């Protein structure tokens, strides 16, 4: 068996594992809304969910339900303009929008796999800010006692 064949088997096993570990729960309040429990973990080690809403106009909206920014806040990262700007830049890199009104990451489109993957990638990249905060190692502290996050530049 060639390395290529072994790699194809490995990829197939990984995709099977993902399929088995993605759970879909229909929300009773809305038939057009489901929660997908993913096997993916943020920097804090907790797996995250993705909400999928099927809108009337045929648009499919994927969101993180606001959990990504909630987790940053719970880890001591103050959500003020410089941090929000970094989060927005990271989100846009993955074609995801940050809704500043409710601090939700969202991705509207046709519901394709790429749209789902873009949101997963954005969540993972943004949650890495938790590690950046830990790396600040007694860095500058703002007036409210929160450690400043080094710029991602």
Determine how β-strand 104-109 pairs with β-strand 97-99. Answer: antiparallel
Q: Which residue has the higher pLDDT, 74 or 31?
A: 74
Tell me the CATH number for domain 3-135.
3.30.1460
Position 147 pLDDT exceeds 80? no
* Digit-coded pLDDT (tens) for 68-77: 999 999 888 8
The residue ranges of every structural domain in the chain are: 3-135
- Phi/psi of residue 13, nearest 5 degrees: -65, -40
- Give the H/E segment covering residue 116: helix 113-127
pLDDT of residue 8: 93
Is the distance from CB of 130 to CB of 60 less than 8 angstroms?
Answer: no
Q: What pLDDT score was predicted for residue 146?
A: 57
- How far apart CA 120 and CA 128 sit, in angstroms, is 13
Name the band, by pLDDT with cuts 50, 70 and 90, for residue 55: confident
Asked which of 49-58, 88-97, 123-132, 142-151 is least confident by mean pLDDT, the reply is 142-151
Q: How far is CA 143 from CA 28, 40, 97, 118, 125, in A?
A: 44, 35, 30, 35, 27
pLDDT, one tens digit per residue, over 76-134 is: 888 888 899 999 999 999 999 999 877 899 989 888 889 999 999 999 999 999 876 65
Residue 18 has a pLDDT of 85
pLDDT in tens, 3-26: 999 999 999 999 898 888 888 877
Query: What's the pLDDT at 75?
Result: 87
Take residue 1 and report the two structure tokens written for it: 């068996």
| CB distance 63 to 51 below 8 Å | yes
């Amino acid at each position: 068996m060639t390395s290529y064949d072994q790699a194809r088997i490995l990829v197939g096993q990984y995709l099977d594992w993902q399929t088995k570990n993605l759970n879909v729960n229909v929300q009773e309040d809305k038939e057009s809304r489901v929660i997908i429990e993913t096997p993916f973990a943020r920097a804090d080690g907790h797996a995250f969910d993705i909400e999928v809403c099927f809108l009337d106009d045929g648009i499919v909206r994927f969101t993180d339900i606001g959990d990504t920014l909630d987790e940053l806040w719970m880890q001591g990262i103050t959500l003020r303009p410089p941090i929000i700007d970094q989060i927005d830049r990271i989100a846009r890199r993955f074609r995801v929008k940050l809704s500043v009104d409710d601090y939700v990451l969202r991705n509207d489109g046709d519901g394709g796999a790429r749209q789902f993957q873009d949101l997963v990638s954005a969540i993972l990249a943004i949650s890495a800010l938790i590690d950046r905060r830990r790396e600040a190692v007694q860095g500058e502290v703002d007036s409210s006692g929160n450690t400043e996050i080094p710029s991602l530049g």
